[in-house]
Structure 1
Amino acid sequence: MTALTGPSADVLWATALRRWNAVCWLLFAAMAVGIATMARSRGSMFAALGLLGCVVLCYALLDRFPDNPVVRPHGYLTVLAVALGGLAHLRTSYAALFMVTLPHYWMFGRTPRISMGFLGLATASTLLGSWLQQGWTAEFLGETTVSTLIVVAVGVLIGLWAHSVVAQSSERARLIEELEQAQAELSAAHQRQGAADERERLAREIHDTLAQGFASIVVLAEAARAGLAADPARSAQQLRSIESTARENLTEARDLVASGGRPGQAATGSVAATLRRVLDRFTEDTGLAVDADLADLDCDQPTRIALLRCTQESLANVRKHARASTVGVVLARRPYGVELEITDDGAGFAVEESSGFGLDGMRKRLAELGGRLTITSSVGDGTRILATVPPAGGLEGAA
């Protein structure tokens, strides 16, 4: 999943401020030239340049030290408002300074209420300076007051609109940042879940192949050692079974390594032939009677492997725990899919108390194919394992 990217509110603010700074320095320079060339007297020129210099100095300090607690934006806005009143009293370029610095109230006020407050202060200071210079004349009441209020009204409208745009951009930036964080967390969760699923799958494959083979080797080795004196021929047969099982385990291990832990490839063709070989080997190793009724079905590879692993796990449990004398295996095609039933007349167990990894692995393996595992057992009454795989799991047809 590709993460969305977008500038944060601070980045947007910093970019806008840098651009406006460049414009302001040019306008300040132009105003200084205008004051020097159009001032009515040298005294008013020096006073106006002094007021403009105070504004420029405060602005330069604010630009140079934006994070300094001593240099505060509100202090600059206060100096600006006082300077506007002084320039209005001198009747020197106050209108130009007012228009040039109008965006500063919104840039440095940060909130509409503060911006409106300083803009009102600047308006009052300007009108006061003009009144002190002109008095209650028609010029003050008409041209000066009306033009000032028009400029202020336009500035308020533009400022509120700009503040709304910035607020929306900040909200979008915040939402994008939250979305990026959520996507990163979701990606990490998917990776963790994928790693956990892969570990579980690999553990199931090792349990169903290598671990079962090693368990069989241990049982055969113990039996062979116990019968060396009494039945050398039987012990020799068991040793051959150990050798064969060890070779099979080695092949399984190589297959797991070569396939990156993917399930091994069971023999193609009839699943009945595959299960028959497993049952013959089980009878040879344990001496238990196996009654098998295996329909000759062709299944796809995942279904064949699932039925094979279920058979191997069930027979391993019979060997280790059941103390059974006979085992029954039925493979059949039903209207609802393929059905594998394995029964024994052994000791049985309490199903609700079982927490074995093998039974849980069989359930999950079948569930991946849309199938189901049903276990029926009680202490002293044997065990019935029923595995079903629906046709969607890969029934290809019957021979």
Structure 2
Amino acid sequence: MNTTAPASPVPTTRLLAWCLHLLVAGLLALAAGRAVADGEPHAPAVVAVAAVLGLVYAAGPSMRSTHVSRRAAAVWLAAVGVVWLALLVLTADGVWIAFPLYFLQLHLLPRRTGPAVVVATALAAIVAFAAHSGALTLATAVGPALGAAVAVAVVRGYQALYRESERRRRLIEELTLTRADLAAAQHTAGVLAERERLAHEIHDTLAQGLTSIQLLLRAAERALPGRPELAARHVEQARQSAVDNLAEARRFVAALVPPSLEGITLADALERLCTTVSARHPLTARFRLTGTAVPLPTGHEVALLRIAQSALSNTVRHAGAATADVTLGFPDGRAVRLDVVDDGRGFDPGLLASPGPDGGGFGLAAARARAQALGGTLTVQSAPGHGTTLAVRLPLGGL
């Protein structure tokens, strides 16, 4: 219902609110219509009071104060109650208005006050009904009392369901945060494991090789000038050790750098990627370089190339685009920027599926993780029918 105060624990759907409004309007019309049809002497007064009650009731949902203030809502309920009592004095049909009033009172008033007001409203309805019928009987008391009991039970049950729903929502949020923390911990563990592996590799190969070269050169130094043949042999052994270490270093680089980056710059690799995509798919991919290019760390080149590959793959698979523009920019010498813009069908980034076992949703998450691991940012701007723009910015530090 739109007449809720923010402190109220029970949210009412718009459909239920309109049902309650229509119920009040129908009962008021019934009371006024019956008074006129039965030719009651107070028929004009009944019609007038019913109209006033309808206006006072309609004022509540239309006033903002009843939405944001429990006190304003209580004042509005009191005004409705006063006019209802006047209608109750004039006609017994006003008793039926008590039923929607029960829900309003339980919904808008504090948890302890609401039931007490409902009891008072039921008593007023019973007394008025007995006065109009001329006697207080069990039948005159059962209707209003039973209606009050049903209203309390329904509202309390709805409140319990809402609290359970809120508890589950908070639990889901906690599970989501825990899953994110677990993913971050797993990523950190993977990084540390890879660092440890590389440390072992370097220690077992390059470090030992460099130590060997140092020892051989010292031996050659000691052999000079008295034993030049021995010194020459030590130098040759040191040279061969250097060749072996260079091969090991190249093996490390080959293991860490994508083949598409071997021997060429990132700009060349991106241009080649666009050419390949254009040749293999019905998409015109164009590359552009802006600013003055500077040498990038291997990690930056690998991350930007992988992100561009993923973005163009998504464009081919999902966007239905005719063109895609890949721009590598060096705007200020302190950062490198990659933009991938397509003219496809676009999508709502807020409705993007979470990564799941069916293979969907991992590309963008992986790209964002690559950017964040290097201290950068990744943003996606898109809307249905307006294409997609993916922008990555990586800081260059002291380069």
* Structure 2 counterpart of 1:58, from 41, 57, 60: 60
Deviation by residue 1:54-108 (Cα, 9 ceiling, x = unmatched):
122113325x863x34764444444444444333223264344333344334433
Aligned to 1:189: 185
Q: Provide the residue aligned with 2:117 in structure 1.
A: 118
In the other structure, the counterpart of 1:377 is: none
Aligned pairs (5 A) from 1:123-142: 123-127=122-126, 130=129, 134=132, 137-138=134-135, 140-142=136-138
Contact 2:126 2:141 in 1 (8 A): yes
> Which residue of the partner structure matches residue 86 of structure 2?
86
Q: 1:149 Cα deviation (Å)?
A: 0.6
- CA deviations over 1:131-182 (Å, ceiling 9, x no partner): 6x549x31x4444322111111222222232222222222222222222222
Q: Which secondary structure state, in structure 2, belongs to the residue aligned with residue 230 of structure 1? A: coil
**Identical amino acids, percent of aligned pairs:** 26
Q: Aligned partner of 1:158: which letter?
A: V
CA deviation after TM superposition for structure 1 residue 246, in Å: 1.6
1:174-323 aligned at under 5 Å gives the runs: 174-260=170-256
Q: Judging changes above 3 Å, is the alpha-carbon distance between structure 1 residues 165 and 230 closer, same or farther for their aligned structure 2 residues?
A: same
The runs of 5 or more residues in structure 2 that have no matched partner are 1-6, 258-399
Decide whether aligned partners of structure 1 residues 142 and 197 sit closer, same or farther in structure 2, where only a CA change above 3 A counts: same
Deviation at 1:216, TM superposition (A): 2.2
Contact 1:227 1:235 in 2 (8 A): yes
**Counterpart-to-counterpart distance in 1, 2:198 and 2:117:** 69
- Structure 1 unpaired stretches of 5+: 1-9, 262-399
Residue in 2 aligned with 1:173?
A: 169
CA distance in 1, matches of 2:73, 2:193: 56
CA RMSD across the alignment: 3.2
Instruction: Report the AA paired with residue 260 of structure 1.
Output: L
1:213 and 1:245 in contact (8 A); partners too? yes
TM-score calculated relative to the size of structure 1 = 0.53
Aligned counterparts of 1:105 and 1:238: Cα–Cα separation in 2? 99
**Which protein has greater RCO, CA pairs closer than 8 Å, 6+ apart?**
1
**Structure 2 residue 171 is the aligned partner of structure 1 residue 154:** no
Whole-angstrom CA distance in 2 between matches of 1:13 and 1:236: 91
| Matches for 1:314-333 after TM superposition, within 5 Å | none
**Aligned mate of 2:49, from 47, 55, 69:** 47
Deviations 1:300-337 (A, max 9, x none): xxxxxxxxxxxxxxxxxxxxxxxxxxxxxxxxxxxxxx
Partner of 1:107: 107
Cα deviation digits, residues 35-56 of structure 1 (max 9, x gap) = 4433341122111221232122
Q: Which structure has the larger Rg over C-alpha atoms?
A: 1
Q: Give the whole-Å Cα distance in 2 for the aligned partners of 1:79 and 1:158.
A: 25
Corresponding residue pairs, total:
244
Aligned counterpart, 1:38:
34
TM-score, scaled relative to structure 2:
0.53
* Matching residue of 1:98: 98
Q: Render the CA deviation track for 1:165-202: whole Å, top value 9, x for unaligned.
A: 22222222222222222222222222222222222222
